[in-house]
A and B are shown apart, each in its own frame.
Chain A
Amino acid sequence: MKQYNIFVCGVGGQGVITLAMFLKRAGVPVGYRVVGGEYRGAAQREGPVTATVRYGIPEAGETYADAGTVFAGNIIPGGAHLVLSTEASEALRYPGYLSPDTTIVSSSYIMPPKGTTYPKLEEIEATLKEVTQQVYYVDTNGLSMSNYGSYRMANTVLLGAALAVSDLPLTKANIEAILERQTDLEALRLGLQAGEDARLKVAK
């Protein structure tokens, strides 16, 4: 039984929990045992919000029941395969989940808290790269705003980017199967392209 752990983070109101729920639902028709937590409470107004998505993936010869030890919502230190961040600096808040094998796909959207110095994007990227080389930034909010007039599609763009650059064990078809809106399908494709662009930039 293989595990795949996704850590989703961002700021309250950005749809972190919705994004994580989407990933949870996407794993079910593929036959994964899905477990995950949501760190809600105090409705987290403008504060950090996190959620986890954990897949127990039965391997050859195993049944669904064999994936039984993916039990609790928490991810152990060093245990995140993929980190998705809907805000440019939030992945920095959780360095314990990272390992050199983690892929980080982050929106470059900045939500600067009042009264704090917000680090430069280059600094954030450099800090994350102290741990892993697979760090990708995508302008999800800009793409969503310029194509759809709001930030609503930003997380779908982020999902597409993650599909392009990470080892997320879902195919484009797996995700399309549970998308409901035409605009989501388009936004997913935008994200795939943006992810590819980001990967090429990193490869240079």
Chain B
Amino acid sequence: MSILVSGEPGERVLALGNEAIARGALEAGIGFFSTYPGAPASEVGDAIAEVIDQLPGLHFEYSMNEKVALEGAIGASWAGVRAMCAMKHMGLNVAADVIHNLVYQDIKGGLVIYNSGDPGATSSTDEQDNRLFSLHTHVPVLEPSTVQEAKDFTVKAFELSEKFSIPVIINTTYALAHLIGDLNLGQRPREFPATGEFSFDPRTGGGTVERHRRLLDKVDAIKEMAETYDLNSVIPGTTKWGIITGGIPYGYVVEAMEILGLSDVPILKLGMVYPMPDRLVSDFVNSLEAVLVVEELEDFIEGEIKKLLYDSETRVPVIGKKLFPRVGPLSSFLVASGIAKHLDLSLPAHVQEGWERSQAMAGRAPARFPTFCPGCPHRAAFYSFREVVGDQEVACGTDIGCYLYGGRPPFNFGNWGGWMGVGIGVAQGMSQKVKNVPIMAAIGDSTFFHTGMPTLLNAVQNNANVLLFLMDNKTVGMTGNQPSPTATATVSGQPLKNVDTVALIRGLGVTFVRKIDPYRPFEMMEAIRQAMEQDGVRVIISERECALVSGRRERMQSRGMQEVYAIEPERCQKCDVCFVKLGCPAILSRGENGSEVYYIDEARCSGCGVCKTICPNSAVLRTLVNPHLEVRV
């Protein structure tokens, strides 16, 4: 049962950090929520979407990109309705134009942006530290440290936003977004503001420079408030040295103290990391002989403190990045190591041994990279691509989505990538200068609507020479199967209005447009061959629903026999077309030393049938299994 709609005020539940954020937004009585999926922020929107039918009056949307998500939230705010917008750290880049300009104007209903970052970049292409955005935008940043604070700070954020007429950012990383811990629930409204009223002009206040000055005045007022803000706290202690920290690193500090057997160390915990309370910080620093700043990634807090203290007479050492790394995620271990180094202490033996062991025994597990699921239509499409292209040199750009796994063997589609729209964006420009190899790009349906459309138009308008694969699996796949504008039905079978991609792309002026089902590889190969014989902008739409989504729908709707495939060992020649060139993870080999047999793990086979279609020896057979033997109590 979702904690967003269940539980009594005061009840303690286990919650995910992102769920706590969503719960906080509901407790604050928002009327508008928008998001573009992106790890580690995706679950905030997903949690609300799951129970939207039980939240009357609340407008929820999966927006096409972060810019329009924020613009929509602004519309609600200017109508006097509280609004929240959620995105991953890189999403703030997409919304950057909006934020930089928004702060020169006022807001009405509280406007809160939830932003979650990814130090270590396990689900991202960079680990940018978004606190630094506020040096530009002057948007206040709140950083909760626990699941409880994730909820409580969200409610406070709306109050702060309205009091100072400024958007507020709640910043976390995956370490809190995907943390599960205790949450004491608050009061939740049963209805949310269905309507607002546009009755004020957000542009009051004179010219641009004058409004810039007003923005800085707002920041000064918030700084003054920060001196006594209950989100900032000093945990008193008796040692001569202390720590300034905030966000999830606070949790690591607490654990590090325990690991090292330290106690009574004064800690200044900043719940609002921008703007900083000057007097609170300088009083804290001046009461000590040394201060360690524990923060992840950049020296944001450290830098602001040093800037503050330079003109004063303080010469208390403030030490941050000398002890704690500037790249990658922090941990209790890294924080303990840094503190131990400063105090010339040793880590406990079992911790030191564990660390040494992690270095000495690294790499013993077989290399395992994410790849396409069994049945993934992208796998079939890239198989067809590589069959046609063979050893020929091509330059291809891939993009952000599951299809980027096509960049690995055996397909190797993807000489570059890295941000939303990069594939076609760079490809079309490169084609103006590179004439000796075919230039291609891949883009998913969601990424196409996020950023790819204007880029494709640019390619047409400027006579680029590029073949674009629109990988339309009718879902935002990588982030957990959020709906895409090309989906034709929900998992439960309800029809959705969807975009006619062929008409759209023809409308942009592309004359070579083919829509092919990648589960029909010979048709796909023929389309690719034809496309490669031509010049100009060519688009092949590889259209087939994500296997995870169709699998779920099948299981929901039918309790009968499931179609899977099997390899007939007497016919199989181990030619490796299915095992290597298609590379389906459900096709395995057993036996050894020359007597290996290829087989299909029927528990993992999705029933796509592509292996049967491409097998040159007719060795793949269709068979039926009944996977539904478990019984519900």
Binary B-proximity of A30-58 (CB < 8 A = 1, otherwise 0): 00011111111111111110000000000
* B-contacting residues, A78-109, CB 8 Å: 78-79, 89-90, 92-99
Decide: B626 and A149 in contact? CB cutoff 8 A.
yes
Decide: A37 and B178 in contact? CB cutoff 8 A.
yes
Decide: B478 and A43 in contact? CB cutoff 8 A.
yes
Query: DSSP class of A's interface residues: helix, strand, loop or mixed?
Result: loop
Decide: B175 and A37 in contact? CB cutoff 8 A.
yes
Binary A-proximity of B115-131 (CB < 8 A = 1, otherwise 0): 00010001110000000
Interface size on A, residues (CB 8 A): 66
Decide: A69 and B258 in contact? CB cutoff 8 A.
yes
B364 on interface, CB distance cutoff 8 Å: yes
A129 to B352, CA, bound (A): 19
Q: How near does chain A come to B147, taking the closest CB pair, in angstroms? A: 8
A180 on interface, CB distance cutoff 8 Å: yes
Contact partners of A98 in chain B: CB under 8 A: 354, 357
Q: Which of B477, B480, B629 has the most CB of A within 10 A?
A: B629
Binary A-proximity of B600-632 (CB < 8 A = 1, otherwise 0): 000100000000000000000000011111111
A24 on interface, CB distance cutoff 8 Å: yes
B174 on interface, CB distance cutoff 8 Å: yes
Of the residues A38, A42, A43, A48, contact of B368 by C-beta under 8 Å: A48
* Known contacts A71-B255, A77-B355, A116-B366; A183/B630 CB under 8 A: yes
Q: From B96-104, B246-254, B280-288, B503-511, give the one contacting chain A.
A: B246-254
* Known contacts A69-B258, A76-B333, A78-B354; A44/B633 CB under 8 A: no
Contact partners of A45 in chain B: CB under 8 A: 370-373, 402, 405
A26 to B550, CA, bound (A): 32
* Known contacts A12-B370, A42-B370, A116-B367; A150/B627 CB under 8 A: yes
Of the residues B146, B174, B360, contact of A41 by C-beta under 8 Å: B174
Of the residues A69, A119, A153, contact of B630 by C-beta under 8 Å: A153
Binary A-proximity of B173-184 (CB < 8 A = 1, otherwise 0): 011001111100
Decide: A92 and B365 in contact? CB cutoff 8 A.
yes
B583 on interface, CB distance cutoff 8 Å: yes
B209 on interface, CB distance cutoff 8 Å: no
Contact partners of A148 in chain B: CB under 8 A: 629-630
* Known contacts A41-B40, A96-B358; A76/B332 CB under 8 A: yes
Binary A-proximity of B580-608 (CB < 8 A = 1, otherwise 0): 10010100100000000000000100000
Decide: A96 and B626 in contact? CB cutoff 8 A.
no
Of the residues A47, A74, A95, A97, contact of B332 by C-beta under 8 Å: A74
* Known contacts A119-B366, A148-B629; A39/B603 CB under 8 A: no
B331 on interface, CB distance cutoff 8 Å: yes
Q: How near does chain A come to B409, taking the closest CB pair, in angstroms? A: 6
Closest B-chain residue to A21, C-beta based? B180
Closest B-chain residue to A130, C-beta based? B361
Closest A-chain residue to B402, C-beta based? A45
Q: How near does chain B come to A143, taking the closest CB pair, in angstroms? A: 13
Contact partners of B343 in chain A: CB under 8 A: none
A204 on interface, CB distance cutoff 8 Å: no
Decide: B357 and A96 in contact? CB cutoff 8 A.
yes
Contact partners of A39 in chain B: CB under 8 A: 122, 174, 178
A48 to B370, CA, bound (A): 8
A15 on interface, CB distance cutoff 8 Å: no
* Known contacts A43-B478, A182-B631; A114/B580 CB under 8 A: yes
Contact partners of A116 in chain B: CB under 8 A: 366-368
B8 on interface, CB distance cutoff 8 Å: no
A1 to B294, CA, bound (A): 26
B369 on interface, CB distance cutoff 8 Å: yes
Binary A-proximity of B349-384 (CB < 8 A = 1, otherwise 0): 011111101101110111111111100000000000
* Known contacts A114-B585, A183-B631; A95/B364 CB under 8 A: yes
Decide: B373 and A99 in contact? CB cutoff 8 A.
no
Closest B-chain residue to A182, C-beta based? B633
A199 on interface, CB distance cutoff 8 Å: no
* A-contacting residues, B414-443, CB 8 Å: none
Can you report 17 A-B residue pairs in the complex whose CB atoms are below 8 A from each other?
A: A24-B14, A37-B180, A40-B174, A45-B373, A45-B405, A71-B251, A72-B251, A72-B252, A96-B357, A96-B358, A113-B368, A114-B580, A115-B409, A118-B366, A141-B603, A150-B628, A151-B603
What are the 5 closest A-B residue pairs judged by CB atoms, nearest first? A96-B358, A78-B354, A41-B123, A77-B354, A47-B370
